[in-house]
Amino acid sequence: MNSIHAFLQHEVMNNKTPSIQYAFFDADSTIYSFQYGLRDIKESKMVDATTTYNVFSITKTFTAIAVLQLAQAGLVELKAPMQKHLPWFPYGDTITVEQVLQHTAGIPNPLPLRWSHLAAEHAQFNRDLFFAQVFEKHDRLKSAPGKKFSYSNLGYVLLGQLIEHISGKTFEAFIKENILDKARIPRSDLDFVIDPAVHAKGYQKYWSFTNALLGVLINKQKFMDAREGKWKPFRNFYVNGTPYGGLIGSAKGLTRYAQVLLDNKNLLLDETHLKMLFTESKIAGQPTGMSLSWFTGSLKGNLYYAHAGGGGGYYVELRVYPELGVGSVVLNNRSGMRDERMLDKTDVYFLQYIPGRI
């Protein structure tokens, strides 16, 4: 364990992130967990197991499970047009629910970094009104449906609307009732609400190209505070599109979520729909690198399904290795704008000790 401990500690000590959480687990227990660094530099507040982070796009995997739960209940047909279930779907009557889940619908994906609002504005924010204007502006498909893999946050906004329209509940209420509660995940570990008492402040490295670029992409005077050492802090904020990136949580919360997916007695989906969730999609016989919201990959010959969540102030990765029955998660309170595959560097410490590994 000393090697993995040293690697993770190095990330903080060398100013790659103010704080970090990491966990490696199987379906029944946490094999290794680590928390280190500062969740608030100015106030010298240390991170601990209760500290939460914005997990951004990992939320999409919850949205996909919610749609599959509706399909399992006979309320949604995955191969039917989105317009059958969501009459105001803005991209025609040929795109299927399944294509939107797979990111093969061709729905555009404008840069979402500006799509956020301060925590102080949250109670008054109307996401449906906001995205009605976005869809009006971006009304043309990026590619023909079913012809190309094309990642889209807007597609998952529409899946969130589908969940609300079919269930008659808010997206947040549906996820809490049908995923968080069924998985027995405490609200303190995973929710849609920022608790300032435990939430990690998000940071951007001050001397960096990204920090300079942020001045063009967002209103830094509104969303960021004064420099704290080598870092520029964000004020607490929410993304505008909850179904594609709105969850707030800790390593404990994401660990419990992944453990449920690894468990043979799955609490969220039946065997048929769980298999759908983790079946890689293909276009013209060629794999796309994604199942229903989970990216596919391999580390040391071991198949995994993963999703990263990155943006201003935070970077998170979640991964499961279903053939080995294990998974991992890492959370940083610093900006991450791409899939860094940080778990490739951490998980190798454990895979060599797992019986049945390749």
Amino acid letter, 344: D
β-sheet bridge partners, residue 205 = 231
Q: For the segment 223-272, what is each residue's pLDDT rounded down to a tens digit?
A: 999 999 999 999 999 999 999 999 999 999 999 999 999 998 899 999 99
Q: What is the pLDDT, as a whole number, of residue 358? A: 42
Q: What is the pLDDT, as a whole number, of residue 357? A: 45
Q: What is the pLDDT, as a whole number, of residue 216? A: 85
List the alpha helices (DSSP H) in the chain: 2-13, 59-72, 82-85, 97-102, 127-137, 153-167, 171-175, 209-217, 220-223, 242-245, 251-262, 271-277, 342-351
3-state helix, strand, coil in the chain (%, to 5): 35, 25, 40
For 227: left if phi > 0, alpha if psi spans -120 to 50, otherwise beta; the answer is beta
Enumerate residues 6+ apart whose C-beta is below 8 A from 50: 188, 198, 250
Extract the residue ranges of the chain whose pLDDT is less than 70. 1-2, 355-358
Q: Which residue has the tokens 């004064």?
A: 226
3-state secondary structure of 139: coil
Q: What is the pLDDT, as a whole number, of residue 46? A: 98
What distance, in Å, lies between the first and last C-alpha atoms of the chain? 21
Q: Which two tokens stand for residue 260?
A: 């449920």
Do the beta carbons of residue 317 and residue 330 sit within 8 Å? Answer: yes
Q: Which two tokens stand for residue 148?
A: 């190309």
Q: DSSP state, 192?
A: S
Q: How remote is the C-alpha of 229 from its chain's centroid?
A: 29
- The total of other beta-carbon atoms located within 10 Å of residue 239's CB is 23
3-state secondary structure of 45: strand
Q: DSSP state, 43?
A: T
